[in-house]
Amino acid sequence: MNAAFASGVSGFASATALLNRAADRVSGVRGLTIPDPPSRAVNTPGASAGNSPLPPAASGRATPSPDFAMAAVEMIQAKHMAAASGAIVRAADDMVGALLDIKA
């Protein structure tokens, strides 16, 4: 009976870890950047065509992780893992209750 309870608790722990990883994936900002649009150089007489009067932008703006689909799948998996673990714990509880009813 203890093995069934342990299995249910272990399943809840795994579901919680999976949900936390998925939540981190959704909320975390990775090192991805969108570069700023290039500036339009104005051709001035006497300036060389290859040189831009303004230096290119070195930094862009950070974007969230684009892998929302995998995070959503992991969240659904975690939900089903938690539901299955709950069913295991309920079944173990029912078995212990039936065993006590038989012994009493």
Query: How far apart, in whole angstroms, are the C-alpha atoms of residue 45 and residue 61?
Result: 34
Give residue 37's identity as a one-letter amino acid code. P
Query: 40-82, pLDDT tens digit by residue?
Result: 555 555 555 555 555 555 555 555 445 788 999 999 999 999 9
Question: Taking the model in full, what pTM does it have?
Answer: 0.59
DSSP code, position 66: S
